[in-house]
């Protein structure tokens, strides 16, 4: 009996449709033939604008088999943003959920458009009435194109996705992955991620509700898809209780989450959290933003020591890993470099800082290859020092090489000459039971240069007031870190990935200033 015989057949699902991995691969192979027939063969960029669903995974896998370069776009994006990325990447073919076509306006004019009809469950989950949606008839259907093709017999080397940064600190930049020396199949990198990072094994079930258009969830999901005898589950959107219910129902073993999702599950009433059995989970990895030590402790107390944090960036890849045990031993660490990578902490002059001193983080990770910014060589040159690359984060190393991240360089607040890190304040405020979400940033101050602002989304049942906020911080933070302005919002401008668009929150405070720091 083979190892595989001891497990149920592996599958891929979006909870509305379930395919065996064998059938999924067959359809993806037909899709690869369809892409080539459309002119989207090797190294041709194709934009996809889709929510999480099974068809999106099929298209991603079809692109991998045909050598097509996928340009994954945020499905919330406005028409101008879509047009800018299509123009910058050279993507003249766009695959899009049909009900999103109207949202992007004229951005699709002059481009070859392939429509994907979302299933009814997915439509309803987003409040769309399938009977009323204006899908139009002028766009070919993906499924019809797929069924007209025989599976390819000769597959191409997999190309990395052309990814665009989120734009949370500026205009999105296209990150083109460059493999060292002769181009190698990017699927080799995915196998290494599956083995060394996710620790996937036959019978594992990988699950995420994070948006697949983002770098980390797409890479990890792709790694699961190429691993034999592993099931892949994606949810169309994150719902805290629904996520827990799916873990229990499917006996999920491996998960990708972001800290925002964890915090929202912890905000559920205790009786709701205790309703679901999560004991099947063996491994949960988080990237995207640092998560506070308090949040880690709370999740470990709830789920057990199954959590790993990875610090990474679209440009460089998954740089560090830290286990639950290490996180408890060294509160606040993001771990040590992995996959043969190296990290430097540099001052503004490019000199290396000693252990324990904060500086800008520069890292190198050859396992993922180098990178260029699409059509922007000056920006690429500006982030390199000593053969290492910065994405604008600040941090320090301890004597044993464990990395600690303090904040983004652009987010740091300088008030009265003191450096204040918003992530530290956010981590404390998120522990308040009356706060659902929070973002901290700097606003101009005539005396101190900048002052601390806390933008807060109240939890249900709390009458929002600044006094409760300040009283909660008392004894937990130095007083010079207390927010001088507390704003209340119905919801904060966060992406599905959990990243908050701080420029949108900062803009009203800085719009009349001649300086921006």
pLDDT tens digit sequence for 110-127: 888 888 876 433 332 223
pLDDT over 60 (residue 137): no
For 298-321, write each residue's pLDDT tens digit: 999 999 999 999 988 888 888 899
Q: What is the per-residue pLDDT for 513?
A: 65
- How confident is the model over 265-284, as a mean pLDDT? 96
**Which residues, in sequence order, are bridge partners of residue 487?**
455
pLDDT over 80 (residue 496): no
Q: What is the per-residue pLDDT for 410?
A: 77
Q: How far apart are CA 165 and CA 179, in angstroms?
A: 19
Q: Output b/e per residue, 431-446; b: 16+ Cβ within 10 A.
A: ebebbbbbbbbbbbbe
pLDDT over 50 (residue 131): no
For 312-361, write each residue's pLDDT tens digit: 888 888 889 999 999 999 998 999 998 888 999 999 899 999 999 999 99
Return contacts of 118-127, CB within 8 angstroms, 24+ apart: 118/51, 118/53, 119/14, 119/16, 119/17, 119/53, 121/15, 121/16, 121/236, 122/14, 122/16, 122/51, 122/53, 122/236, 123/99, 125/236, 125/237, 126/51, 126/236, 126/237
pLDDT over 80 (residue 495): no
Name the fold adopted by 16-166. Answer: Rossmann fold (3.40.50)
Q: What is the per-residue pLDDT for 26?
A: 93
Q: Are strands 205-208 and 174-178 parallel, antiparallel or unpaired?
A: unpaired
Q: What is the per-residue pLDDT for 312?
A: 85
Q: Characterise 203 by phi-psi region: left (phi > 0), alpha (psi -120 to 50), beta (else).
A: left
Q: How far apart are CA 489 and CA 319, in angstroms?
A: 34
CATH of segment(s) 413-510: 3.30.300.30
Q: Output b/e per residue, 95-129; b: 16+ Cβ within 10 A.
A: bbbbbbbebbeebbeeebbbbbbbbeebbebeebe
User: What residues contact 329, with CB distance under 8 A and at least 6 apart?
Assistant: none
Q: Is the pTM of this model over 0.85?
A: no
**Vertex 117 angle, CA 43 and 241, to 5°:** 100
pLDDT over 90 (residue 220): yes
If you average pLDDT over every residue of the chain, what do you get?
85
Q: What is the per-residue pLDDT for 356?
A: 94
pLDDT tier for residue 135 given thresholds of 50, 70 and 90: very low
Query: Which residue did the predictor score with more confidence, 204 or 497?
Result: 204
- How confident is the model over 86-110, as a mean pLDDT? 88
Q: In what order do the strands lie in the sheet with 283-286?
A: 18-20, 11-13, 231-234, 205-208, 254-257, 283-286, 307-309
- Angstrom CA distances, 159 to 217, 321, 474, stand at 17, 25, 52
For 139-171, write each residue's pLDDT tens digit: 778 888 888 888 888 888 788 778 887 654 456
Q: How far apart are CA 414 and CA 444, in angstroms?
A: 10
Separation of first and last alpha carbons in the chain: 65
Q: Are strands 317-318 and 320-321 parallel, antiparallel or unpaired?
A: unpaired
Q: How far apart are CA 30 and CA 53, in angstroms?
A: 18
Burial class for 340, CB neighbours closer than 10 Å (0-12, 13-18, 19+): exposed
Q: How far apart are CA 163 and CA 69, in angstroms?
A: 10
User: Which DSSP state fits 159?
Assistant: P
pLDDT over 80 (residue 286): yes
**Vertex 102 angle, CA 101 and 103, to 5°:** 90
CATH topology identical between 16-166 and 413-510:
no
Listed by start position, the domains of the chain span: 16-166, 413-510
Q: What is the per-residue pLDDT for 170?
A: 53
Candidates 168, 123, 119, 145; CA nearest to 31 is 145
pLDDT tier for residue 246 given thresholds of 50, 70 and 90: very high
User: What residues contact 144, with CB distance under 8 A and at least 6 apart?
Assistant: none
Q: What is the per-residue pLDDT for 166?
A: 61
Q: What is the per-residue pLDDT for 136?
A: 46
Least confident of 121-135, 246-260, 396-410, 458-472: 121-135
Percent of the chain with pLDDT over 70: 90
- How confident is the model over 85-105, as a mean pLDDT? 88
Return contacts of 181-185, CB within 8 angstroms, 24+ apart: 183/157, 184/157, 185/157, 185/158
Q: What is the per-residue pLDDT for 32?
A: 93
347 in Cβ contact with 316 (< 8 Å)? no
């Amino acid at each position: 009996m083979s190892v595989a015989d001891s497990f149920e057949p592996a599958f891929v699902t979006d909870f509305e449709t379930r395919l065996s991995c064998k059938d999924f691969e067959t359809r993806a192979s037909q899709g690869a033939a369809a892409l080539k027939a459309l002119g989207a063969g090797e190294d041709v960029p194709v934009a996809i604008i889709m929510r999480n669903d099974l068809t999106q995974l099929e298209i991603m896998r079809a692109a991998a088999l045909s050598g097509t370069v996928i340009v994954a776009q945020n499905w919330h994006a406005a028409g101008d943003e879509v047009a800018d990325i299509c123009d910058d990447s050279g993507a003249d073919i766009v695959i899009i959920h049909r009900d999103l076509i109207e949202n992007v306006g004229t951005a699709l004019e002059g481009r070859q458009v392939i429509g994907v009809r979302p299933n009814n469950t997915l439509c309803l989950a987003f409040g769309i009435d399938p009977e009323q949606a204006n899908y139009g008839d002028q766009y070919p259907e993906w499924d019809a194109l797929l069924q007209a093709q025989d599976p390819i017999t000769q597959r191409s080397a997999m190309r990395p996705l052309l990814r665009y940064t989120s734009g949370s600190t500026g205009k999105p930049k296209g990150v083109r992955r460059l493999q060292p020396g002769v181009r190698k199949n990017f699927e080799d990198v995915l196998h290494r991620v599956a083995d060394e990072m996710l620790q996937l094994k036959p019978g594992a079930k990988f699950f995420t509700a994070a948006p697949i258009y983002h770098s980390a969830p797409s890479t990890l999901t792709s790694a699961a898809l190429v691993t034999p005898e592993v099931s892949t589950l994606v949810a169309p959107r994150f719902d805290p209780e629904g996520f827990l219910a799916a873990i229990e129902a499917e006996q999920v073993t491996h998960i990708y989450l972001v800290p925002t999702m964890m915090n929202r599950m912890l905000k559920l009433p205790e009786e709701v959290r205790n309703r679901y059995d999560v004991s099947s989970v063996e491994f949960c990895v988080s990237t995207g933003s640092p998560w506070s030590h308090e949040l880690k402790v709370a999740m470990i107390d709830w789920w057990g020591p199954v959590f790993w944090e990875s610090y990474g960036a679209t440009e460089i890849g998954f740089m560090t890993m830290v286990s639950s045990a290490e996180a408890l031993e060294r509160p606040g660490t993001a771990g040590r470099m992995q996959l043969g990578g190296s990290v430097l902490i540099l001052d503004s002059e490019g000199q290396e800082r000693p252990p324990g001193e904060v500086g800008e983080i520069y890292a190198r990770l050859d396992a993922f290859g180098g990178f260029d910014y699409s059509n922007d060589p000056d920006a690429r040159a500006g982030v390199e020092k000593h053969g290492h690359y910065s994405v604008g984060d600040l941090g320090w190393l301890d004597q044993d090489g464990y990395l600690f991240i303090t904040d983004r360089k652009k987010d740091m607040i300088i008030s009265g000459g003191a450096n204040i890190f918003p992530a530290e304040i956010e981590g404390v405020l998120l522990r308040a039971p009356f706060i659902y979400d929070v973002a901290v940033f700097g606003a101009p101050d005539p005396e101190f240069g900048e002052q601390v602002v806390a933008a807060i989304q109240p939890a249900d049942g709390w009458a929002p007031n600044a006094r409760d906020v300040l009283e909660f911080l008392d004894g937990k933070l130095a007083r010079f870190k207390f927010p001088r302005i507390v704003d209340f919002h119905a919801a904060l401008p966060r992406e599905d990935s959990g990243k908050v668009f701080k420029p949108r929150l900062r803009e009203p405070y800085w719009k009349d200033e001649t300086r921006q720091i």
